[in-house]
Homo-oligomer: A and B are copies of this chain.
């Protein structure tokens, strides 16, 4: 392939028209870079499925080109797929110190830490891959140590923002590298790939520090024990909780596996400052006066197995919720989680606790990590891109983000609203979107390692909605003559008691269906039973249970 025919390809394998499983690819000639490898939690319509990760068949086909996986930050929707991915493609992983700490937790759990290649980078790192050079800039977000990425290519600079907001009064110096961003914009950006989560929200994202003020106020008011729940990965919020704990002269117990693990990583690597005297084991809580204790726990999203849920039903052995305790949700419920959170609030009120919950606008106990419209416009203004690719959002967010881009000067028609798999090709400075690569969902089941194929899911759906009917009949293997009366068993469809007549009629249908067969044609009999019994059941009940004929030839 001659130099002049090379083009630069940008596409997503996940993260577009969805929140979750982010994975983006920048490809130029024989160099391919992956940005992030996230997972998405399955919703209830996918029965018994826990995680969804990107379909990476394109990457498997192009394994020889992959130069590395670059990770912008340590949230699940950006790192959750990494263990499953590395088991398929053992490529080098580039990430900052804190992000690597979280990735290592996962790889250790999956027992593949030793054979993985992890390379620590920081916002001033410069990676040289020959024709492509990669630089970084620091962005603010709701987790420490986040990066934006600049791919310096023969076609010009391609900028990927990662997840970001602008926070002018950040906690722990996690501020945005705004001067560097300005410099990149001055150099020229051919394409900006920018996140769109809050493109629907007018104004600017409030500073994380605002949450600290509200936490401090609530701590000063509290008379009994304080139980406070937030995202473990929001280490800057954890720092503010630690600071308020210090000011009110309390001690701090950590509850919940991910809280303990993430705080450990953050302390070891210097992202949170907790004095040793402050920490107590949760078993010590009962021995301390309530007004001297803060319990920091997981479960702010109402997760039924997390610490806060157990506390709300007083099912934790060591920590009990008492009247006059204060329970604080230092996180807004993510849409879809309201019911789980509400149930926990109900239970906590029944235990007599004072509960601070609800939307951030009422409590002040949460701010978003994603830039609102003014933040997004600032990024667009700094980068002045020729082309714009909004990512990380559902269609209406990408659509709103395009409107913002046009408002600050991106030319009409220079924004590409892509779907997962759609490729934007840039050649000789001109961008087009005409082709696609394979993309999709890969399911990970409860146990963790199995990928479930679609047919099992489809079966589960039918079973769950319509139930099933097993029809058993025994035939002579020589001539196909029926030996036994048919027998039918239903599950999740109708209750057998009171439906003897229906079941009896089904057995008559089975007889009429297979008796005309003159040989032991098992497949033919099964097909005929499925059809005839299915029709009969539908006529009678308007239901379509799974019909499972079992023919025993003896």
Contacts and interface: CB of A to CB of B under 8 A. Distances in A.
Interface of A: 17, 43-45, 47-48, 200, 335-336, 338-339, 342, 345-347, 349-350, 355, 358, 394-396, 399, 446-447, 452-453, 455-457, 459-461, 463-468, 470, 472, 474, 483-484, 487, 489, 491-495, 541-543, 546, 548, 550, 552, 554
Nearest to A17: B346
A464 B48 contact: yes
Given A342-B394, A554-B474, A543 B456 contact: no
Nearest to A463: B463
Given A346-B17, A447-B541, A465 B48 contact: yes
Contacts of A494: 456
B548 A446 contact: no
B48 A474 contact: no
A28 to B, nearest CB: 31
B349 A399 contact: yes
Contacts of A460: 463-465, 467, 492
Contacts of A345: 396
A492 to B, nearest CB: 4
Contacts of A338: 335-336
Given A48-B466, A336-B338, A489-B550, 4 more contacts: A349-B396, A447-B543, A468-B468, A472-B552
A465 B47 contact: yes
A484 B552 contact: yes
Contacts of A459: 467, 491-492
Contact of A461 (B350, B464, B474): B464
A463 to B, nearest CB: 4
Nearest to A338: B335
B491 A548 contact: yes
A494 B446 CA distance: 12
Contacts of A349: 395-396, 399
